[in-house]
């Protein structure tokens, strides 16, 4: 058991890291592009699939599995979706060929959902069916609040078509999230598969929590609700209060490594999944915590983003979570403190 002093030191370190991160974020408007590129190398796997593969090969020895994301989102013409369809199809072939323990993450707007809804849905369904042939799971990343309803509807529509290798991301910072959990669980039952995260998009205070403690509390409440809804829960957080709460929640429900999911209506076993839950972390962030969780037997998944749109992703990621800036900068300046 941790002592009170150890917990206090952890909290103090968290507070200091957030303060340093805010300082880095404040400098972003005047930061040269090459500096952002230097920082982003820590948590972006590269500009192409081959670079991502090299990163994953290095991490496999740490008992990590992966979710792979081709960077890019809202497009301006439906023809632009062809790039993402083709790249993800190449990615599926690579996962199969290289026998990777990996699934994929996609952004619905990159497939044209906001330009031509029917075509966007058809594009996503096409990719989902190809993934299903190889029992590869597809995670629908959540974008800003404009497309929350659309993204959830895509997930439900695919399940209606019998395609169950799909799940959605929900953002704890949004006030609506608990209601969304209840709605999805009521429709999909144990077929519901969530990733819960704080959310990369900074949303208005009228619809979202904006303070750190509020977001932590909302994350913990969402985790409990998802677990009690008998859904599969991917806990995507680097915040120690959230990770500690998740571990306690799992223990309370007698869930854990090597134990069959004991919940009465547990989700069915699925290739590449854990015992009803898993932990997820960004590439290059909190590697020490991820390795500790993995050593305890928890399934740990690393988010592997790659692509030409690394700059836009990097700027948004740093703005959303200043603590990431601290972890990344610390790892760059003092690499012995935190392996990727």
Active site residues: 141, 195
Is residue 6 included in any domain, yes or no? Answer: no
pLDDT tens, 38-77? 667 778 898 899 999 999 999 999 999 999 999 987 789 9
3-class DSSP assignment, residue 8: helix
Taking the complete model, does pTM exceed 0.75, yes or no?
yes
**Which domain, by its residues, includes 188?**
42-322
| Mean pLDDT of the region 302-310 | 88
Owner of token pair 């404040």: 26
Lowest mean pLDDT among 120-124, 169-173, 286-290, 334-338: 334-338
Give yes or no for a contact between 163 and 128, defined as CB atoms under 8 angstroms apart: yes
Q: How many structural domains are present in the chain?
A: 1
What is the reported pLDDT for 162?
A: 97
Phi, psi of 108 (to 5 degrees): -55, -35
Owner of token pair 């599969």: 232
| 245/63 Cα distance (integer angstroms) | 23
Owner of token pair 């301006």: 76
pLDDT tens, 10-31? 566 656 655 655 666 566 566 6
Is residue 56 included in any domain, yes or no? Answer: yes
Furthest-apart CA atoms within the chain: distance in Å:
58
Is residue 78 included in any domain, yes or no? Answer: yes
Give yes or no for a contact between 43 and 285, defined as CB atoms under 8 angstroms apart: yes
User: Domain holding 172: CATH number?
Assistant: 3.20.20.220
Lowest mean pLDDT among 124-128, 151-155, 308-312, 332-336: 332-336
3-class DSSP assignment, residue 7: helix
| 138/105 Cα distance (integer angstroms) | 6
């Amino acid at each position: 058991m941790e002592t009170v002093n150890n917990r206090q030191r952890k909290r103090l370190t968290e507070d200091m890291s957030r303060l340093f991160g805010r300082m880095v974020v404040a400098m972003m408007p005047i930061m040269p592009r090459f500096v952002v590129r230097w920082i982003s190398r820590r948590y972006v796997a590269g500009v192409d699939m081959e670079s991502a593969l090299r990163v994953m090969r290095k991490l496999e020895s740490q008992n990590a599995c992966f979710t792979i994301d081709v960077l890019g989102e809202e497009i301006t013409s439906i023809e632009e979706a062809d790039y993402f369809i083709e790249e993800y199809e190449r990615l599926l072939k690579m996962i199969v060929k290289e026998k990777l323990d990996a699934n994929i993450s996609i952004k619905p707007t990159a497939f044209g959902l906001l330009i031509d809804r029917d075509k966007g849905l058809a594009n996503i369904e096409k990719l989902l069916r190809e993934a299903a042939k190889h029992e590869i799971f597809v995670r629908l990343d959540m974008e800003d609040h404009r497309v929350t309803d659309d993204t959830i509807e895509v997930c439900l529509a695919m399940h209606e078509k019998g395609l169950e290798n799909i799940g959605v991301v929900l953002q704890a910072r949004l006030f609506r999230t608990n209601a969304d959990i209840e709605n999805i669980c009521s429709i999909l039952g144990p077929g519901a598969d969530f990733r819960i995260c704080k959310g990369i998009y900074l949303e208005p205070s009228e619809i979202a929590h904006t303070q750190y403690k509020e977001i932590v509390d909302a994350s913990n409440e969402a985790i409990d609700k998802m677990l009690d809804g008998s859904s599969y829960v991917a806990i995507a957080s680097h915040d120690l209060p959230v990770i500690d709460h998740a571990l306690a929640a799992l223990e309370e429900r007698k869930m854990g490594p090597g134990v069959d999911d004991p919940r009465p209506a547990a989700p069915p076993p699925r290739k590449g999944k854990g015992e009803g839950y898993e932990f997820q972390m960004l590439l290059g962030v909190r590697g020490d915590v991820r390795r500790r969780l993995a050593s305890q037997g928890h399934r740990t998944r690393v988010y592997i983003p790659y692509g030409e749109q690394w700059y836009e992703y990097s700027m948004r990621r740093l703005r959303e979570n200043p603590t990431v800036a601290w972890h990344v900068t610390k790892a760059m300046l003092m690499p012995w403190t935190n392996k990727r």
